[in-house]
Every structure is written in C-alpha cells, then in structure tokens.
Structure 1
Amino acid sequence: MTIRIDRAMLDALVDAARGSARRRLHRNLHQDAAEPVQRLLIAIEPDSYVVPHRHSAPGKRETLTLLRGRLGLILFDNGGRVQETCLLEAGGEVLGVELAAGVYHSVVALDTGTVIFEVKAGPYNPALDVERAAWAPAESAPAGRDYLAGLHALFAANQA
C-alpha cells in the first residue's frame, strides 16, 4: 500500500494536535508495533512538554527529520545537565538528526504547526521502549510548565 505524505495529511494532523490535551499527536505509518522499523509523523505545538527521555535498548537509534516549522533539540547527560542543543528548521541549515541509543533528549516546537518525521527500530514495546528522566518533572506536574519555559529559553535567540 502506498501512503502519500501530503499537505492535507499534515494539515489534518496539525489541526488534531492543536485540539489535543497534550498539544501533540502522532500518526503511525507502520501497520503495527511488531514491525522492525517504526515510522511516524508527529505534529507538536510550542506549549507541548516532551519529558526528557532515552531509548536505552541496543540498536534503538532514532532519526528525526523536520517537515514543517522549527524544532529545538536538547541533549542531556545522565544527571540532567544540557550537553548540546540543535535547531532544526524545515528548509533550513539542519533538517534532521540521528540520535544514538541511550542519550537523554527532549524537543520543543518553536513554531506552531511543527511536524516531525520519526524513524526508529522496532518492535515497539511501551514497557521497555522509553525511559523517562527521573530528574525532570513529569508531563502532568505543575513544574513541567516552568521546565518547558526553560527549554524554550535555550533557543530564545532563534525565536521569530
């Protein structure tokens, strides 16, 4: 089956993300969690907090390619200190990244309507796939808003 990733698909995903409680939404392109390659589109809004996390299983590299908008990527050491940031811009200098397994990371949307294409090794097992950072606030915690603001501040010079 051919799946076309077109403007209408991205527009619908962005609209759905804007209406979701988490202010982000994904659409799987793979048929099920058992597939050896997981491929998905993620629409994310600037007020969506992605808890720093890592994929520790060997071979769980993650590739992010920006299709729309601007995205800030933050890499952390095991204690939560920022080690590196990277600005991804659709049509810009950096369009995507490949992350090694075991690296704590988070992303922040810097534009409304930002869309990412993500690829990582499967199969997907929710119990084992993601390790959330113990040093970062939970997504639902009140401190998450302040933490998100701090992540955005890392890219303040790049804000439009």
Structure 2
Amino acid sequence: MTNLKLLNQTLIDTVANAAANSQRLRKNHNFHQLSEQVQRFINIMQPGTYVRPHRHLRPEDSNGFEFFLVLQGKVGILLFDQSGKVIESERLSSEDHNYGLEIAEGTFHTLVALEANTALFELKEGPYVPQTDKEFLTLFPNEGTAEAQAQVQSWEAHFFMNN
C-alpha cells in the first residue's frame, strides 16, 4: 500500500467523465476518510449543475471555513445573506488572477460552473456528517426541479453579463 495520493490530470479526467455522466452534473473524489478532521477532495462540475445555497456550521469550539482552489476551468461563487440576497460574487479561474478563495464559517454560498470539466480542490474542517454538514437556504428550490434549473440559468447569466 502506498502512502501517496496523487492529484493529476488522469484523476481529473476520470472524475470529469463521471460528472458529465451524472444526473447532478458533478462528482467528488475524496482524499480523506469521512471521519477525518480535515476534508480534502476534488469537486468536478459541469455547466448546468445546481448547488443549492447552503452554509456549514461547526461546533462552537471549531473555527470552520471552506477553501476553494480552481485547478481547471472557471467557477462563479455567490455569497448570500439570510434573505437570499446576493451580497458578494467572485469568479475564479485557473487562467486568471483569482484562482482560490476562503469562505468563513456560516456563510451561505453556491457554486456555478462556467466551463465544462471545472475542477476544484476543496478543503474544509471535518468530520463529514451528512445529516449536519449543510444548512440549506430554504427559499431556494430543491435539486432536480425545473425551478432549480431556472435558478442555475439566472446565476450563469449573472456571471456572463458581468464578464
């Protein structure tokens, strides 16, 4: 057994192919075990994927964060207040000046894939507990609905109009 876990183009291409063939149009590949204190993974996203706005809340003795680093492609990141109003937006690209950012604990956010096979390396505090990992901003539609697809198109337009 090797002690190395490689992140290379072959892995990105394999996960991107799985994302393109996924109903959700995105796929993660974890470098961590779910019980570990630090979550490390790549998230490959295709245009049209819907990431329902959410935030992560950790126990009080933790200083949670979420860090995104674009390895390939382009992604838009929207931050929201509790009423669902966009309070900040940022475009990240592996080819531009901004290719990474950190979001503070408790910040509602979403990701918008702006290019095919957009690959992000994500880092956040663990462990991963599916029942408590995310708190959704409930005024936004659930995944898999026509309303969700319309929302994605609106977010894409936000980034393409502000290019």
Q: Tell me the equivalent position of 1:88.
A: 92
Q: Tell me the equivalent position of 2:47.
A: 46
- What's the offset of the Cα at 1:154? 1.1
Letter in 2 for 1:17: A
- What's the offset of the Cα at 1:158? 5.7
Instruction: Please report the RMSD computed on the Cα atoms of aligned residues, expressed in angstroms.
Output: 1.1
Letter in 2 for 1:75: L
Matched, 1:75 2:79: yes
Letter in 2 for 1:25: K
Q: Tell me the equivalent position of 1:59.
A: 63
1:153 to 149, 152, 157: 157
Within a 5 Å distance, the mapping from 1:8-19 to structure 2 comes to 8-19=10-21
CA offsets, 1:133-160, max 9 Å, x none? Answer: 111011122210111111111101366x
- What's the offset of the Cα at 1:40? 0.4
Distance in 2, Cα, partners of 1:67 & 1:157: 24
Letter in 2 for 1:114: T
- How many aligned residue pairs are there? 158
Distance in 2, Cα, partners of 1:6 & 1:65: 14
TM-score (normalised: structure 1): 0.95
Distance in 1, Cα, partners of 2:152 & 2:95: 25
Within a 5 Å distance, the mapping from 1:88-127 to structure 2 comes to 88-127=92-131
CA offsets, 1:47-79, max 9 Å, x none? Answer: 100000000225220000000000000000000
TM-score (normalised: structure 2): 0.93
Q: Tell me the equivalent position of 2:147.
A: 143
Equivalent position SS for 2:131: coil
Letter in 1 for 2:67: T
Structure 1 consecutive aligned stretches of length 4 or more whose deviation exceeds 3 Å = none
Percent identical across equivalent pairs? 34
Equivalent position SS for 1:154: helix
In structure 2, runs of 5+ residues without a counterpart are none
Q: Tell me the equivalent position of 1:23.
A: 25
Distance in 1, Cα, partners of 2:34 & 2:53: 22
CA offsets, 1:88-114, max 9 Å, x none? Answer: 000311011100011100010100010
Distance in 2, Cα, partners of 1:4 & 1:33: 19
